[in-house]
Amino acid sequence: MIPKLQPPARLGADLKSQWLLDERIAFLNHGSFGATPRCVLEEQAGWRARIEAEPVEMLSRRGRELLTAAKREVGTWLGMREHDFGFVTNATEGINTVLRSLSFKPGDELLTTSHVYNAVRQAMKYVASRSGATYREIDVPLPIRSPQQIVQTVLDAISAQTRLLVIDHVTSPTALVFPANQIAEACAARGVDVLIDGAHAPGMLPLDVPSMNAAYYAGNLHKWACAPKGTGFLWVRPDKQRDIHPLVISHHLGEGFDAEFSWQGTRDLATWLAVPCALRFMSELGWDRVMAHNHAMAAWAQMFLCDRWGVEPISPADGSMLGSMATVRLPGRLREMADEQAKSLQPRLYAEHRVEAPFMVWGGQAFVRPCCQVYNVPDDFHRLAEAILELGRA
């Protein structure tokens, strides 16, 4: 029996106008690159202007102090001490930083699941192949009935050779909240280090990074924290910091984790310096309200679309394994589309229906993954539902 969920009440009138998003487009793809509110972009432009007015003062003499102040606010928000994480450009960079800092040898195994983000898959394969280690994906098939099913499947797959497990906090193709915390805790007890790919988690889920039990946690601020693009972070447990170096080695090599990450060559600090403004903007809306709104919208959207398209959900119908996105099977013949055909649906949906939503092909089937941010309204999902049915008829 499918429960009748309701969409949440709006958090405010006309919230979308606080973003630059085109009003005519039903934008259901916050998850790919995020979207940054106007006031945060203005703050970023302000920092850029100050840097351009006094380049040496701002970058050289005051850069570290300014970055530290920005880090302090991120750290306070996510429970991290400011010297235990470094700013990186994005989660991909954070994950590469760990993978390429560690050394593996023939016989070692790098392990992840079939829900891994493809760029992370490529990075893991690359690192494994360079050292003669092996790369393996644990098949976690759909539908997912409970977090416990994932914990068990992953733990059963760990072998004596497993050196590193990369686990998603929120998966990309399937939009599921994985029990990363429980998995990491069980792995720590078995002596297996865990790198959590938290690309989507900050701002989507309540998060205290050190209590996730991982050795490494990479996250993004440009997705669900709505910071400018190019703002990610890498947290490393203190006992592991000595072995982790930024991808770009610069002046401060050997001066410690925090110092090494603080300068990686000349970069546009304005992006990171505007992060506190994004955190303020979202916390004025109320983080609890934002997360509850976006989750309720995702839970409702999952079942609304399943109902309209006559498909089964890939995870519990109450939305208990979702954050603020839902991956839904496409209806009818669209579901069986090959990768290239399915990919062509996304630009058609945009061009013909003015709906932006990401399409995924996973396990040989095609899905759509609408994302829910505070500016979304139920009508965005109604438009998606009807547009997909029309594409299926065409």
- E strand or H helix that includes residue 247: none
Number of residues near ligand PLP (by CB under 6 A)? 13
Sheet arrangement for strand 328-329? 328-329, 365-368, 359-362
Binding status of residue 120 toward ligand PLP by CB under 6 A: yes
* 3-class DSSP state of 384: helix
Find the shortest distance in angstroms from Cβ 173 to ligand PLP: 8
Of 51 and 142, which has the nearer Cβ to ligand PLP?
142
- Other Cβ atoms less than 10 A from the Cβ of 42: the count is 11
DSSP 200: T
Q: Which amino acid is at 261?
A: F
- Cα 6 to Cα 177, 190, 220, 279, 293, distances in angstroms: 21, 43, 30, 28, 11
Binding status of residue 369 toward ligand PLP by CB under 6 A: no
Q: What is the DSSP string of 196-237?
A: EEETT-BTTB---GGGG--SEEEEESSSTT-PPSS-EEEEE-
Find the shortest distance in angstroms from Cβ 257 to ligand PLP: 20
Site stretch for ligand PLP (CB under 6 A), options 132-140, 197-205, 266-274, 370-378: 197-205
Binding status of residue 327 toward ligand PLP by CB under 6 A: no
Of 363 and 378, which has the nearer Cβ to ligand PLP?
363
Q: Which amino acid is at 219?
A: G
Looking at the DSSP bridge assignments, the partners of residue 328 are 368
Residue of the chain from 30, 200, 353, 383 that contacts ligand PLP (CB under 6 A):
200
Q: Which two tokens stand for residue 13?
A: 């009138």
Of 5 and 279, which has the nearer Cβ to ligand PLP?
279
Site string for ligand PLP, 156-175 (x = CB under 6 A): ------------x---x---
Of 30-49, which residues contact ligand PLP (CB under 6 A)? 32
Of 54-113, which residues contact ligand PLP (CB under 6 A)? 90-92
Binding status of residue 220 toward ligand PLP by CB under 6 A: yes
Find the shortest distance in angstroms from Cβ 225 to ligand PLP: 12
Binding status of residue 233 toward ligand PLP by CB under 6 A: no
Find the shortest distance in angstroms from Cβ 317 to ligand PLP: 24
Residue of the chain from 104, 117, 235, 263 that contacts ligand PLP (CB under 6 A):
117
CA angle 183, 175, 246 (to 5 degrees): 65
CA angle 143, 224, 18 (to 5 degrees): 130
| Start-to-end CA span in the chain (Å) | 31
95 and 87 Cβ atoms separated by less than 8 Å: no
Residue of the chain from 111, 123, 140, 199 that contacts ligand PLP (CB under 6 A):
199
List of residues contacting ligand PLP (CB under 6 A): 32, 90-92, 117, 119-120, 168, 172, 197, 199-200, 220
